[in-house]
Amino acid sequence: MKGKLVLENGTIFEGTLLGGMPIVGEVVFNTGMTGYQEILTDPSYADQIITLTYPLVGNYGVTREVDQSSKPYCKAMIVGELCTFPSNWQNEGAFEEYMRMHGIPCLYDVDTRAITRAIRSHGVMKGVICPVDTPQDKIDALLAQPLATDHIMRVTTKWEGHRGSDTAEFHVAVYDFGIKENILQSLENEGCKLTIFPANTKAETVMACKPDGIFLSNGPGDPKDVPEIVEEIKKLVGQKPIFGICMGHQLIARAFGGETYKLRFGHRGSNHPVKDLDTNRVYITSQNHGYAVDEASLEGSGLRVSHRSVNDGTVEGLVHTELPIMSVQYHPEASPGPTDNVYLFERFKELMRRG
């Protein structure tokens, strides 16, 4: 079926459509050369239309063990060339069939780099993916719809969960704002028993499990949309060591009075250089976020910048000058190094050892 992407500024890109129902979402791009299945199943992409800049997608197929959540939460995928005959010793099926199974539309045979240039020029914007003959009034009605703001509560776990060995060195309380499976595995691999809580859990309930540390996960959406979660984080400050990644990083900043803002086109890819200001070493990182912490707003908060983006200078990490609190904007568990960023989990463990 012939299909098209219609951006809210009127730009149209035509291609071949897998799945015919018109959908609307925020159009973003990811520059990674691999990891399309992990990208598709990352809850932080909730309600977004993901454009993959790498031209060939699906060439190594799919395998269940790399899923980052139980299902995809994104609205659609846009790819250049969709490989229908993958080759890999771990392959369990074609990416095309995987998307069909989960009901994720895919527009392919498209110049994804042209779409990326449009987003970089105009900023992220809404877009509609639909059959090529969809009436314009229907497209206009979809573009007029406001985007959702309840992403975190739709992707978070609905009940308390437990993972890891009872003999583990540390017990970590995990706030699930849309956590990736690799983060949970990384914490387990670092000797942590995990108690996983829904995003709207009260601080008193979290502390009742007697954790050694508290982890604030990644997640989708605007951190300004969840002030009630920020209030619970404020209650946890000073009680136990806290480590936040991505959304968790932004919520820590807001809990200390900092501000966040929307980036023009976000950071999404597996090759973003970040400098650790404490060691002056640059790390290659995996990133997926559309918001950043306003550095000027941190004055007097007790937080200092620990990591900075080499590309645009934005805040990529924070530490508190007195309290055992740390955070990073990127994903150390995603293995772009592949193990260069594991030291961050070691730092968190050291904070828990100190108590």
Amino acid at the residue 341: N
Average pLDDT over the chain, rounded to whole?
96
Give the pLDDT confidence of 250-260 residue by residue, as tens digits. 999 999 999 99
Architecture of domain 2-148: 3-Layer(bba) Sandwich (3.50)
Confidence class of residue 125 from pLDDT cuts 50, 70 and 90? very high
Q: What is the pLDDT of residue 20?
A: 76
Which pLDDT does position 336 carry in this prediction? 80
**Residue 351 pLDDT level (bands cut at 50, 70, 90):** very high
User: Is beta strand 56-57 parallel, antiparallel or unpaired with respect to 81-82?
Assistant: parallel
| CATH numeric code, 152-354 | 3.40.50.880
Phi-psi region of 162 (alpha: psi -120 to 50; beta: other; left: phi over 0): beta
Report how far residue 92's alpha carbon sits from residue 104's, in angstroms, rounded to the nearest whole number: 18
Instruction: For residues 348-352, give the mean pLDDT.
Output: 97
Sheet containing strand 170-176, edge to edge, reads 161-163, 192-198, 170-176, 213-216, 242-245, 325-328, 315-320, 303-309, 260-276, 281-293
Work out the number of other CB atoms within 10 angstroms of the CB of residue 304.
14
Which member of 249, 289, 307, 331 is catalytic? 331
Written as six digits, the tokens of 144 are 């007029």
H helix or E strand, kind and range, residue 151: helix 151-155
Residues 6+ apart with CB under 8 A from 141: none
Whole-number pLDDT of residue 334 = 85
- CA-to-CA separations, 65 to 68, 82, 110, 182, 301, in angstroms, rounded: 9, 22, 29, 10, 41
pLDDT tens-digit series, residues 156-214? 999 999 999 999 999 999 999 999 999 999 999 999 999 999 999 999 999 999 999 99
- Do the first three CATH levels of 2-148 and 152-354 match, i.e. the same topology? no
Residue 326 backbone phi and psi in degrees, to 5: -145, 155
Give the count of alpha carbons within 13 A of 204, CB side only.
0
Q: What is the pLDDT of residue 340?
A: 86
Q: What is the DSSP letter of 146?
A: P
**pLDDT digit string (tens) for 12-29?**
999 999 987 899 999 999
Provide the residue count of the chain. 355
Identify whether 333 is a catalytic site residue.
Answer: yes
- What are the residue boundaries of the structural domains of the chain, listed by start? 2-148, 152-354
What pLDDT is stored for residue 167 in this prediction? 95
Q: Is the pLDDT at 337 greater than 80, yes or no? A: no
Q: Which residue out of 246, 289, 307, 316 is catalytically annotated?
A: 246
DSSP assigned state of 147: P
Are 175 and 202 contacting, i.e. CB atoms less than 8 angstroms apart?
A: no
pLDDT of residue 12: 98
Angle, to 10 degrees, between the axis of helix 227-236 and the axis of helix 247-255?
70
Give per-residue pLDDT as tens, 66-78.
999 999 999 999 9
d(Cα 34, Cα 77) in Å, to the nearest integer? 14
